[in-house]
Amino acid sequence: MNEAFYVLVFGHATDAMMIETGMGQQYRGESGCSLYTAEAHVRYLREVSEGTELTVRTRILGVDAKKVRLVLEMRAANRKDPVATSELLMIHVDQSAGRAAPFPDAVRERFASLTEKAPEWAGSSIGPVPKS
């Protein structure tokens, strides 16, 4: 897979998370709000061949009034360790106003109840290129 397909798989997993937490199509239609990705950090750890069965685990790391931070780990059927990871900072946006909006209490509380400890790789950044 090339990098676009890794991101596509993570995108579908994020859509599934939104549905599972009550922010699916009905929520978006009724509230006019959705989650927008403000920042993403993807790590490509192992090559994945076409046709490989993939699973993605999503974990909520934290939520505040308007933002949620989550991580996703992609695994191939034949591997124990992740083949890729993604860390996202997402903002709850009122699409008609075009700006961030507070989560409804029920949504924020649902995210808060799902919050897990961050894996050790979360929060890392790309360091400087080593001098040769």
pLDDT value, residue 112: 97
The first and second tokens of residue 14, run together, are: 């994020």
Q: Which helix (H) or strand (E) holds 5?
A: helix 3-20
- Domains of the chain and any CATH numbers: 3-114 (3.10.129.10)
pLDDT tens, N- to C-terminus, the chain (132 residues): 888 999 999 999 999 999 999 999 999 999 999 999 999 999 999 999 888 999 999 999 999 999 999 999 999 997 889 999 999 999 999 999 999 999 999 999 999 999 999 999 999 888 788 887
Q: Any idea what the Cα angle at residue 104 is, between residues 62 and 69, rounded to 5°?
A: 20
Q: Is the pTM of this model over 0.85?
A: yes
The residue assigned the tokens 């090559």 is 47
Q: How many CB atoms lie within 10 A of CB 105?
A: 8
CA nearest 17: which of 97, 130, 110, 124? 110
Q: How many whole angstroms separate alpha carbon 112 and alpha carbon 68?
A: 9
